[in-house]
């Protein structure tokens, strides 16, 4: 798929996070499914989206806290996988894809904070003049869309030129990464219900995952 078109689709999906409704389309597993279907591989899109969904399962935007952007990570991860598959590799390395997604999640949270500050200024501008309702609203939508383009377009252009080192081109990494991420998912799920030190639940998640794969 064309990189510009993929970035455009990603930016539109990311609007679902806060800017335009909140229908869940930007959630990693849903966004991965959409991108996978557009790229002709729904199963892999669901798989990659599910990986990021588990990694960021316990990240909740409570109060003024701005957690890593899980939605941006899922979109960037799924898009990066299919770009690598089309341009450089027959079977892209998932570890590289996950690292790209995690990096974008951090950058996404920084840009999210900046967009919130812009929206706050737009809100006060609206309070001073109610006639500017639509202007302020669509300006806020534009900056939210721009955030997605700033995140995805440079990322996809970079990934298009990226080739994973030969040392990472092994099948073992896929199984190993799957075990690690499923462990994180189980640990995060437990942590959501029992607010304790996450380290203990990470250990419990690893043990549950090993039992799952062994049995």
Closest to 57 measured CA to CA, from 195, 184, 196: 184
Do 104 and 186 share a domain, yes or no? no
Q: pTM of the full predicted structure?
A: 0.77
Mean pLDDT of 100-118: 87
Mean pLDDT computed over 124-147: 84
Can you tell me the distance from the alpha carbon of 37 to that of 43, in angstroms, rounded to the nearest whole number? Answer: 8
Same domain, 17 and 68: yes
State the residue range of the domain holding 54.
3-165
Q: What is the pLDDT of residues 42-65, one digit of tens each?
A: 988 988 888 888 888 766 665 566
Q: What is the pLDDT of residues 63-81, one digit of tens each?
A: 566 678 889 999 999 999 8
Average pLDDT for residues 156-174, to the nearest whole number?
65
Question: What are the E-state strand segments in the chain?
Answer: none
Q: 24-35: per-residue pLDDT in tens?
A: 888 899 999 999
pLDDT band at 176 (very low <50, low <70, confident <90, very high): low
60 and 125 co-located in one domain: yes
């Amino acid at each position: 798929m064309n990189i510009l078109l993929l970035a455009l689709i990603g930016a539109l999906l990311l609007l679902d996070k806060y800017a335009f409704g909140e229908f869940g389309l930007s959630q990693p597993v849903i966004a991965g499914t959409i991108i996978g279907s557009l790229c002709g591989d729904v199963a892999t899109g669901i798989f990659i989206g599910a990986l990021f969904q588990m990694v960021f399962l316990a990240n909740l935007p409570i109060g003024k806290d701005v957690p890593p952007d899980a939605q941006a990570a899922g979109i960037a991860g799924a898009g990066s996988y299919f770009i690598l598959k089309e341009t450089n590799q027959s079977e892209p390395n998932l570890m590289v894809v996950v690292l790209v997604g995690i990096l974008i999640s951090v950058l996404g949270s920084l840009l999210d904070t900046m967009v919130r500050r812009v929206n706050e200024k737009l809100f006060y501008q609206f309070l001073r003049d109610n006639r500017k309702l639509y202007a302020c609203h669509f300006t806020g939508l534009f900056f939210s869309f721009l955030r997605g383009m700033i995140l995805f377009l440079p990322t996809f252009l970079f990934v298009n030129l990226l080739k994973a080192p030969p040392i990472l081109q092994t099948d073992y990494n896929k199984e190993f990464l799957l075990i690690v991420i499923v462990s994180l998912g189980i640990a995060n799920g437990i942590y959501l219900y029992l607010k304790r030190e996450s380290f203990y639940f990470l250990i419990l998640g690893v043990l549950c995952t090993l039992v799952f794969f062994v049995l």
